Amino acid sequence: MNTLHSNSDDPKTPLLPSHHDTIPRSQSFINSPLQSICTINNVFILLGPLSCIIICLCVDLNGSKLSRNMLAVLAWVFLWWITEAVPMPITSMAPLFLFPLFGIASADHVAKTYMDDVIALVLGSFILALAVEHYNIHRRLALNVSTKIIVAVMTITILFCGDPLNPPLLLLGICATTAFVSMWMHNTAAAVIMMPVATGILQNLPASGRSDDKVTKFSKAVVLGVIYSASIGGMSTLTGTGVNLILVGMWKSYFPEATPISFATWFFFGFPLAVLIFIILWVILCLFYCSKGTANALSSYLDKAQLKRELELLGPMAFAEKMVLIVFSMLIVLWMTRSITDDIPGWGALFEGRVGDGSASIMMATLLFIIPSGKQKGEKLMDWNKCKKLPWNIILLLGAGFAIADGVRTSGLAQVLSASLDFLDKAPYLAIAPAVCLISGIVTEFTSNNATTTLVVPLLIQVAQTMHVHPLFLMVPGAIGAQFAFLLPTSTPSNIVGFTTGHINIQDMIKTGLPLKIAGIAILTILMPTLGALVFGTNDPI
């Protein structure tokens, strides 16, 4: 003890023993530079440029050097994306140096693809989403909805069957709120925001080891409902997920003369699709996790009073919360009315097509930095410090998707791929569409939704041209299929959010996600040639 004390008094003595005091010299050599270099991650890093070199040396695409170079760059970028050997945002910036180096496009041209109206739409919506999160509006909304549902359920069920709680309707309220929140922000952000609200409601339930099996199942249903509702809600609007934005950006890049897909246009197709899939989700959750005696098992733990107490803790709505809601509502109205129909052009016609959904998004986001918060003198609803949480990784990934789509088109790789797909010329659409959706849905289980879309959609454009069908007939199923990431925790970050709560396991996800994926593919296959033809005008030539 005296030795320790004397050593600790010496300012030069380290607080912890150094490696050369505790590790043999030979072991120290093994654990230093050599071990840090020989890692599986570094192998994956080398795979990117190595695959690029192999393609450049060994592949001949009808003598087209530019097309071969584009394929080589694609292999490099996608290998890094899939393995995540390099952080995804950094990989997303790789086209900025790879395209000029391989002669695919100039540096200025590539850089411009990373900022257009779609990216502006994302930036503005993310800033508004941060304001909603900062002022706890999402939590107030969830508790309000849940409380009102329980009030309505209590009134009806007491009159008819005397039971004070209806678990299926309570589950419906939680899932519907999550889906609604996910419509206006990225589905991962919606899951992150809503999961504490959902688990907060479940906190009054006993732990799984000490609870009734029916209570445990209901807890699983709530968590699964939140993560799947976040994905489903994101399908209904352009701002709900990056996949929809990538699709719209690629459509604009490949077919600049065609009518662009506006926020309202997508909503008229995406919202009915999301509603149908959401109903299927609710039915599956009720069948698997809400048995007959669930209401009795839950009634002693969950009631209206408990949710009302949580709501009261938030206090009355402040001026700042009201103003954020007003700005958010104004933005939704502007998105929905910019371009309505050919007969009713919307307010965008006043500016002769010079404005886009991104213009409205940035304008409303700017108001948040102008309107006072009403809390402290000079304080605004938002300041730049609150914007440090902006998900630049998503923005860079979107930019990379647009750059790759443009590179595939301008390099001639699209034409080369199209020539190799002649065998699909006489394939029926009802056979190809489900297959496209299924392939996209399988790939997305092992890589990110956005990366899947960036890889699959350019190929589908060529398949559609080979089949002589409207490209959106395949582009839309391919993009939405990439959002059917329902089977594995690692399929999408929102799944991980639910998995880390400890209420669900992989078996629960497969049990619920597999029928949900099959139902989603069937619904999409039916809606695309019917409602899709009406909304997107796919019966007309491009």
What is the per-residue DSSP string for 421-441?
Answer: TGGGTT--HHHHHHHHHHHHH
Residues 41, 43, 45, 48: what is their CA dihedral angle, to the nearest 10 degrees? Answer: -140
Nearest to 483 by CA among 232, 274, 194, 245: 232
What is the C-alpha to C-alpha distance for residues 147 and 170, in angstroms, rounded to an integer? 9
Domain that holds residue 349: 119-389
What is the C-alpha to C-alpha distance for residues 233 and 166, in angstroms, rounded to an integer? 23
How far does Cα 313 stand from its chain's mean position? Answer: 31
pLDDT of residue 417: 67
Question: DSSP letter string over 140-190?
Answer: HHHHHHHHHHHHHHHHHHHHHT--S--HHHHHHHHHHHHHHHHHHS-HHHH
Q: Is residue 305 part of a domain?
A: yes
Q: Is residue 527 part of a domain?
A: no
Q: Is residue 60 part of a domain?
A: no
Q: Is residue 83 part of a domain?
A: no
CA atoms 55, 58, 63, 65: torsion sign: positive
Whole-number mean pLDDT of the chain? 78
What is the C-alpha to C-alpha distance for residues 67 and 60, in angstroms, rounded to an integer? 9
Domain total in the chain: 1
Find residue 143's DSSP bridge partners: none
Q: Is residue 204 part of a domain?
A: yes
Per the CB < 8 A criterion, the answer to whether 140 and 197 are in contact is no
pLDDT of residue 367: 93
Given a cut of 50, the residues of the chain with pLDDT beneath it are 1-30, 149-163, 209
Q: How many residues does the chain have?
A: 542
pLDDT of residue 25: 47
pLDDT of residue 305: 62
Q: End-to-end alpha-carbon separation of the chain, Å?
A: 85
pLDDT of residue 100: 94
Q: Where do runs of H (alpha helix) occur along 59-136? A: 65-83, 88-92, 95-101, 107-113, 117-134
Find residue 372's DSSP bridge partners: 380
Please list, residue by residue across 411-430, b when 16 or more beta carbons sit within 10 angstroms of its beta carbon and e when fewer do. bbbbbbbbeebeebeeeebe
Q: How many CA atoms lie within 13 A of 51 on its CB side?
A: 17
Q: Is residue 323 part of a domain?
A: yes
Please, what is the Cα angle at 377 between 375 and 380, to 5 degrees? 65
Tokens coding 498: 């639910």
Structure-token match 């659409």, residue found: 429
What is the C-alpha to C-alpha distance for residues 438 and 103, in angstroms, rounded to an integer? 35
Q: Is residue 349 part of a domain?
A: yes
Tokens coding 542: 């491009």
Q: Is residue 188 part of a domain?
A: yes
56 three-state secondary structure: helix
Helix/strand/coil percentages in the chain, nearest 5: 75, 0, 25
